Each structure stands twice: as structure tokens, then as C-alpha cells.
């Protein structure tokens, strides 16, 4: 006898749908003409305790949003947001659906979410679709981020829909299947604050605390503690971005999570030459989201988050609430700088951050400025200097004046480390990536994938980036900056 088809590979437990009625619209995905799983993240599936078969046609339908799995309650979430500084009271999931939540082996709750599954009541004239290039880009960027040890949403699968979607010509339609600690955003709070729906805001804050920081329920002021916690997580997140040269590109408040995970990889890119003014996004005309602006922009976003929480922090005394919230926001930069310098200290081989080390770190970056030195490679070259002398680092510099003096100071500082040079160099290589998603590599892989339906270069790049720290034979073409003829790089939102 034929087995009945198992429509329930996912043991859903949907707290958002259950506890937050009025925060979303129940919605179904569009019918994909021919859903096919192009890529399944088997490692992630296994770590989440999911037993998925990429060749299963029903799974493809479910992950395209065409069919609803048993236990799923697909919904489009409401949120608002400041985009490039301007407030939109209603954004929301215009092309996304939350299928539901699952618990992993450790009882951690995560969202199973689709991006590109068709229009919703929040689409605002958009077609609700996504195309293969940007879907694969988000897949790759998230996996690279995860391998770097940086909190991020991750791709579980990329599904092609069999549809051609108009985007500067016709492009293959696709859906990104994404997992996240949650999809609560600063913009989710702004949605209800803008409508002055204080009861809903309290429900949302209580939900966020229960889901992301349950210990805070015991705090004297749980809502102030929530602000502190989100601010701390974002400070650590941005510090990690800065340490690897990651530029998010669209740090709008709807793209900032409450969980502290990186979300919504659009026009993001890794900086090649060190320059705080680096910006790649074609839509960022004012340079609002440059590399160097990311910490102050995060603080600005958190100030918007703080504003939404004021009525909860002290419902009877607004001035007191504002003062308390302002103090938290004022602490953001010191917390960020501490996290940033602590991480940078490890990158230059220091086991702890001592007095004066922040200056040593900042001065290294000053010597890089204005020279065409690859940011990522610099730190590996520094480690090599400890193994084989100064040549590896000096050859990178056109103007060696600054770096020679800096190397003296650095090596004097390292002499107080309780380890020999080889051990320090090895420790440095464990935190300084050799392989990052360089713009020219990502571009080349996506051109093959989208243009020629050849996923092999993409898969090869994905495999390299899964272990960014360990040097392997035969991967030299993945190291180092773009060839000269690659030209200036511009990223596009690709919606």
C-alpha cells in the first residue's frame, strides 16, 4: 500500500500566530508554476533536527509557499520603519511569509520564513516576488557570516518557482527559505508606537522578552532592561561587522532585529581597501550607511527603538522614562568601542585589551588609509610577519613610513604576551578570515547561476566560505582583491 504523503516534516509551534493576533495578516503564498529546490542547506537542516529531502516535490511546494504544511499558519507580519531616515508607518512583509516556528534540539525557538512567496496586503505596489540572483546572494552572505561566527539569519533553502519575473529583463523567480531567532524588528515596535497602540506595544515587548531574554522578566524594569539588552547585542553585532569589513548597506530600522542577528542581505558587501567612507549601494546617494557610519547609525536606530518603549519604561512619568532611555543610548558607543577594540586586539594577536591598545589598533587603521591595501589580507600578513619577518606586510604598502614605526610598537607590545610568535600567529589566523565573500567572486558565481543555470561555481564558493580561516591547497584564486579590470563595485537592492 502506498504510504500517505507526509505533509508534516515540520513540527510547528506557532507562538507569534497564537500570542500576537492583530500583529499580522494570515496569508497564503502564490502558486509557483514549477517549484524546485535549487539548494538545500543540509548542514543547517540537520543541526535544527529537520529531516528534509531536496528531491521531494511536496517539500518544494511547501518551501515555495504554494502548499501549506500541516501545522503551519502562514502570515505576513506588520512592521514600520525608518528608511534612509524617513519614516514609513506601514511597511510589513510585502513579499514574505512566516510559515511558523520550530524548536531545535536544545529547545531554541526559530522562525521558518519565506522571502519572495508572492504579494501580500503589505506589498504597496510591489510584485511580492524575488529572483534567483539576490536569493542566492542572501543565502551566501548569511552562510559566510555564520561561518565567521557572527549572529545572523540563515538560509535553509533556495527554491526556484519556474516563473520569469520582470527585473531589468526577465529573471528566474525564486524563494529564499530563511530561519531566524525571530523576525521581530525595531520597525515592529515602531508600527504600534506610531499608532499609539500602547496595549499592543506592551504585548509585543512582553513577547520579545519572553522569547529573547526571559531572565529580564525578573528585572526591576523589564522594558528598560530590554532596551539595554538589544542595545548591547547590537553593539556587539556591529563590532563584529566592523572587524571583518562588512557593510550592510541598508541599516533601516526595519532591518534591525531585536534578537541581535544580522538580517536582510541586500546591497551588502565587504570592504576591500580600508576607508571608513566606503559605500557600495547604488541607492545610498548620501552615504548614510557607509562602513564608518554603521556604529552611529545603529545608535540612531536604537534611539528610535527607545522612543517606542518610553510609555512602558515609566507610564506615569514620561520625563523620567526619557532620561532612563537616554542613558542607555548614551552607553551604546562605549559598549560598542569596548567590544570593537577587544575583537580587534585578538586580530592583532593580543590575548587581552590593555590600556593603550585601542590607540595601537586605531593607529594601524590610520596607516592603512589612503593606500590600496586589502583590509582582509592585512591581518593574515601581520601574522605571517611573526613567522617569517616583515616582508609579507611591507610589500603591501606603497608608503612604508607609518607601518614601520607601527610594527615596532606592535612587536614591543607583543613581547608582553605569554606566548611565542608562532603561537600568536596561529591564534591570529583563527580569528582573521582568509576567505571572505569578495565582490568579484560573488558576482561571477551569481552570473553563472542566474544566467546559465550553473550552480557549481556558487556551490564551490559556498564551500570555501564555510571555513573562512583555514588555508587550503588550490584555493588561491579565492584570496586577495579583485583584479584591476573589475572596476568600481556597485551593489543593487535586487528587489
Residues that bind ligand AMP (CB under 6 A): 91-96, 122-123, 126-129, 250, 254-255, 264, 266, 493, 495
Least spacing, CB of residue 191 vs ligand AMP, in Å = 11
User: Of all helices (H) and strands (E), which one includes residue 284?
Assistant: none
123 binds, among Mg ion, ligand AMP, none (CB under 5 to 8 A by kind): ligand AMP
119 or 437, CB closer to ligand AMP? 119
277 binds, among Mg ion, ligand AMP, none (CB under 5 to 8 A by kind): none
Which residue in 254, 314, 374, 384 is the catalytic one? 254
Q: Which residues contact 252 (CB under 8 A, 6 or more apart)?
A: 81, 82, 83, 84, 187
- Dihedral-angle region of residue 474 (phi above 0 means left; psi in -120 to 50 means alpha; beta otherwise): left
101 binds, among ligand AMP, Mg ion, none (CB under 5 to 8 A by kind): none
The contact mask relative to Mg ion for 200-239 (x = CB under 5 A, - = no) is ----------------------------------------
Least spacing, CB of residue 268 vs ligand AMP, in Å = 11
Contact 62, 156 (CB under 8 A): no
300 or 406, CB closer to ligand AMP? 300
3-state DSSP helix/strand/coil percent for the chain, to nearest 5?
A: 45, 15, 40
94 or 343, CB closer to ligand AMP? 94
Least spacing, CB of residue 81 vs ligand AMP, in Å = 7
266 binds, among Mg ion, ligand AMP, none (CB under 5 to 8 A by kind): ligand AMP
- How far is the C-alpha of 158 from the C-alpha of 489, rounded, in Å? 25
Listed residue (430, 399, 450) closest to 135, CA to CA: 450
Question: What is the distance in angstroms between the CA of the first residue and the CA of the last residue of the chain?
Answer: 46
The contact mask relative to Mg ion for 261-300 (x = CB under 5 A, - = no) is ---x------------------------------------
Residue 93 binds Mg ion, judged by CB under 5 A: no
∠382-385-388 over CA atoms, to 5°?
155
Least spacing, CB of residue 264 vs Mg ion, in Å = 4
User: Of all helices (H) and strands (E), which one includes residue 131?
Assistant: strand 130-131
380 binds, among ligand AMP, Mg ion, none (CB under 5 to 8 A by kind): none
15 binds, among ligand AMP, Mg ion, none (CB under 5 to 8 A by kind): none
Helix axes 357-368, 401-414, angle to 10 degrees: 150
Q: What is the total count of residues that contact Mg ion (CB under 5 A)?
A: 2
Least spacing, CB of residue 262 vs ligand AMP, in Å = 13
155 or 434, CB closer to ligand AMP? 155
7 binds, among Mg ion, ligand AMP, none (CB under 5 to 8 A by kind): none
Least spacing, CB of residue 256 vs ligand AMP, in Å = 11
In 167-209, DSSP assigns E strands to 170-180
Listed residue (301, 299, 414, 402) closest to 347, CA to CA: 414
- Cell representation of residue 454: 550553473
Least spacing, CB of residue 156 vs Mg ion, in Å = 18
Cα–Cα distance list, 464 to 76, 149, 157, 467 (Å): 35, 15, 18, 6
Residue 255 binds Mg ion, judged by CB under 5 A: yes
Give the alpha-carbon dihedral of 308, 313, 317, 321, to 10 degrees.
-70
Residue 190 binds Mg ion, judged by CB under 5 A: no
- Sole residue written with cell 531572565: 215
Tell me 21's DSSP state.
T
User: Of all helices (H) and strands (E), which one includes residue 25?
Assistant: strand 24-26
- Sole residue written with cell 547590537: 234
Is 127 marked active-site? no
255 or 301, CB closer to Mg ion? 255
Residues that bind Mg ion (CB under 5 A): 255, 264
Question: Which residues are catalytically annotated?
Answer: 254
Amino acid at each position: 500500500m502506498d504510504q500517505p504523503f507526509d505533509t508534516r516534516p515540520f513540527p510547528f509551534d506557532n507562538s507569534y500566530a497564537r500570542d500576537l493576533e492583530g500583529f499580522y495578516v494570515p496569508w497564503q503564498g502564490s502558486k509557483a508554476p514549477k517549484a524546485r529546490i535549487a539548494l538545500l542547506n543540509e548542514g543547517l537542516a540537520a543541526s535544527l533536527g529537520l529531516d528534509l529531502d531536496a528531491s521531494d516535490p511536496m517539500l518544494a511546494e511547501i518551501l515555495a509557499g504554494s502548499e501549506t504544511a500541516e501545522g503551519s499558519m502562514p502570515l505576513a507580519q506588520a512592521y514600520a520603519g525608518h528608511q534612509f531616515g524617513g519614516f514609513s508607518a506601514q511597511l510589513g512583509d510585502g513579499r514574505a511569509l512566516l510559515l511558523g516556528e520550530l524548536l531545535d534540539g536544545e529547545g531554541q525557538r526559530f522562525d521558518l520564513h519565506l522571502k519572495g512567496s508572492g504579494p501580500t496586503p503589505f506589498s504597496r505596489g510591489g510584485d511580492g516576488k524575488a529572483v534567483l540572483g539576490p536569493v542566492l546572494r542572501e543565502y551566501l552572505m548569511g552562510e559566510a557570516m555564520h561561518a565567521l561566527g557572527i549572529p545572523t539569519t540563515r538560509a535553509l533553502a533556495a527554491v526556484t518557482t519556474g516563473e520569469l519575473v520582470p527585473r531589468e529583463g526577465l529573471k528566474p523567480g525564486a524563494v529564499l527559505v530563511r530561519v531566524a531567532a525571530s523576525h521581530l524588528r525595531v520597525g515592529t515596535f515602531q508600527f504600534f508606537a506610531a499608532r499609539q497602540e500602547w496595549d499592543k506595544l506592551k504585548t509585543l515587548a512582553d513577547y520579545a522578552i519572553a522569547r529573547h531574554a526571559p531572565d529580564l522578566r525578573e528585572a526591576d524594569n523589564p522594558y528598560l532592561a530590554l532596551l539595554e539588552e538589544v542595545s548591547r547585542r547590537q553593539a556587539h553585532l556591529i563590532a563584529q561587522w566592523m572587524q571583518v569589513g562588512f557593510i550592510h548597506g541598508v541599516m533601516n530600522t526595519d532591518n534591525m532585529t531585536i534578537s541581535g542577528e544580522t538580517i536582510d542581505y541586500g546591497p551588502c558587501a565587504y570592504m576591500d581597501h580600508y576607508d571608513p567612507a566606503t559605500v557600495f549601494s547604488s541607492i545610498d546617494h548620501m552615504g548614510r550607511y557607509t562602513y564608518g557610519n554603521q556604529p552611529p547609525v545603529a545608535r540612531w536606530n536604537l534611539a528610535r527603538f527607545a522612543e517606542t518603549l518610553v510609555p512602558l519604561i515609566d507610564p506615569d512619568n514620561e520625563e523620567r522614562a526619557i532620561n532612563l532611555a537616554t542613558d542607555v543610548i548614551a552607553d551604546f558607543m562605549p559598549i560598542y568601542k569596548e567590544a570593537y577594540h577587544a575583537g580587534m586586539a585578538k586580530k592583532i594577536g593580543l590575548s587581552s585589551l590593555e590600556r593603550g591598545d585601542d590607540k595601537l589598533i586605531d593607529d594601524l587603521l590610520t596607516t592603512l588609509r589612503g593606500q590600496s591595501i586589502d583590509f582582509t589580507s592585512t591581518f593574515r600578513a601581520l601574522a605571517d610577519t611573526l613567522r617569517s619577518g616583515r616582508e609579507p606586510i611591507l610589500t603591501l604598502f606603497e608608503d612604508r613610513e607609518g607601518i614601520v614605526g607601527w610594527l615596532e610598537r606592535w612587536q614591543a607590545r607583543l613581547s608582553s604576551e605569554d606566548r611565542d610568535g608562532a603561537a600568536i600567529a596561529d591564534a591570529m589566523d583563527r580569528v582573521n578570515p582568509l576567505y571572505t565573500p569578495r565582490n568579484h567572486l560573488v558576482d561571477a558565481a551569481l552570473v553563472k547561476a542566474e544566467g546559465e543555470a550553473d550552480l557549481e561555481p556558487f556551490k564551490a564558493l559556498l564551500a570555501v566560505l564555510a571555513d573562512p580561516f583555514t588555508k587550503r591547497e588550490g584555493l588561491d584564486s579565492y584570496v586577495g582583491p579583485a583584479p584591476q579590470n573589475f572596476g568600481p563595485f556597485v551593489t543593487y537592492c535586487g528587489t
